[in-house]
Amino acid sequence: MTAIVLKFGGYQESASIHNRAAGRFGKLLEEKLGDRVAFELIGSVLKLGRGSGDLVPMVERGELSLCYMSTVRFSKAAPSLQLLELPFVVKDRAAVFRALDGEYGEEAARRIDEDTRCRVLGFWDNGFRHLTNRVRPIRKPQDCRGLRIRTQASDLHGEVFRALGFEPIVCDVKDFVDQIGSDRFQAHDNALTNIYNFGVYSHHRYITLSGHFWGASVMVCNAAHYRGWPKGVQAAVDAAATAATAYQRQLAAAEDAEIMAKLDPAQNEVIRLTDPERAAFMKAVEPVLDKYRKQLGPKLFAYLE
């Protein structure tokens, strides 16, 4: 019997929680299916000269069987996912995972399944995002003015950063990592795990724990591949994906404290906002939030309550 080859692509370092969860997924599959599958984890396509934005097209073409990717990449297919691109709307992980594991996530997954060549296998924790920069401590929106910030390919994120006074520049993480030491970017936002694992902390002295966004990642597979697998393989993939998703979320919940312990106070200044300081950031982005409350409707926001 010829083994079913499953190539799982990512864009992070091997120690990242995403790649550790992907590795757990492969191990569970091998334990269940033995030599019926041949699993290969390509932890970072960046090291192959590809951008993170190439991952989903690689899955859709069948070059990869699976990948993980920020839900930002899927918000055109599933517009409700824009909810997760809004500032300060996710306040705790428990509420957002109730939504993603319930009706909200089911609807988003259905739209992705219908409008792309991908099949959703699980929603992962992409972390609370914080601000880093090389110029000055950021404690108030006025400190953001004029700083060039690298952003994900999200128009909505761009609106938020412009409201804060930044000059947003959309850039794939590959190019950002390659150019982080240059003058192109003065600031960036990301989860602590990526601030550390991509080496951002070595170039950006100042880390403001703003928690302005919380992001989800989606684990997807090529839909045609999935349909072509025997029922037993489909069941094993579904079960392994569920277990890997639970494991990934568990790792994410512990990761922030672990990364904070690794940062050297002599190298990085960590700014913890006071309640009034955080309120100033929330007030600055309120016009963007009001716009999307009207556009998306109150039902979506109710999922996070």
pLDDT tier for residue 15 given thresholds of 50, 70 and 90:
confident
Stretch among 83-87, 177-181, 245-249 having the lowest mean pLDDT: 177-181
pLDDT tens, 186-208? 999 999 999 999 999 999 999 99
Q: How far, in Å, CA of 152 to CA of 220, rounded?
A: 19
Do 113 and 119 contact (CB within 8 A), yes or no? yes
Greatest distance between any 2 Cα atoms in the chain: 64
pLDDT of amino acid 181: 84
Predicted pLDDT of residue 155: 93
Answer yes or no: are the C-beta atoms of 38 and 3 closer than 8 Å: yes
Task: Return all residues near 181 (Cβ < 8 A) that are at least 6 apart.
Answer: 203
Over 23-90, what HEC string results?
HHHHHHHHHHHHHHEEEEEECEHHHHCCCHHHHHHHHHHCCCCEEEEEHHHHCCCCHHHHHHHCCCCC
H-only helix segments in 263-285: 275-284
Contacts of 299 (CB under 8 A, 6+ apart): none
pLDDT grade for 274, boundaries at 50, 70 and 90? very high
Query: Please, which pLDDT band fits residue 182 given cuts at 50, 70 and 90?
Result: confident
Q: Residue 305's pLDDT is what? A: 86
pLDDT at 96 over 90: yes
The pLDDT of 31-47, averaged and rounded, is 96
pLDDT band per the 50, 70, 90 thresholds, residue 29: very high
Reported as half-sphere exposure (CB side, CA atoms, 13 A), residue 237 has a value of 29
pLDDT at 237 over 90: yes
- Identity of residue 110: R
Band the pLDDT of 90: cuts 50, 70, 90.
very high
Q: Residue 9: CB partners within 8 Å, gap ≥ 6?
A: 42, 45, 55, 58, 59, 64, 66, 67
Query: Taking residues 71-75, what's their average pLDDT?
Result: 96
CB count within 10 Å of CB 275 equals 6
Q: Which residues of 286-299 are buried (b: 16+ CB within 10 A; e: fewer)?
A: eebbeebeeeeeee
Q: Which domains are seen in the chain, by residue range?
A: 4-302 (3.40.190.170)
- Could you give the CA distance from residue 228 to residue 246 in angstroms, rounded to a whole number? 26
Q: Which helix (H) or strand (E) holds 197?
A: helix 192-197
pLDDT digits (tens, 9 = 90+) for 97-156: 999 999 999 999 999 999 999 999 999 999 999 999 999 999 999 999 999 999 998 999
Cα dihedral angle (229, 106, 16, 237), rounded to 10 degrees?
-20
Neighbouring residues of 296: CB distance < 8 A, sequence distance ≥ 6: 79, 80, 82, 83
Q: Mean pLDDT across the chain, nearest whole number?
A: 96
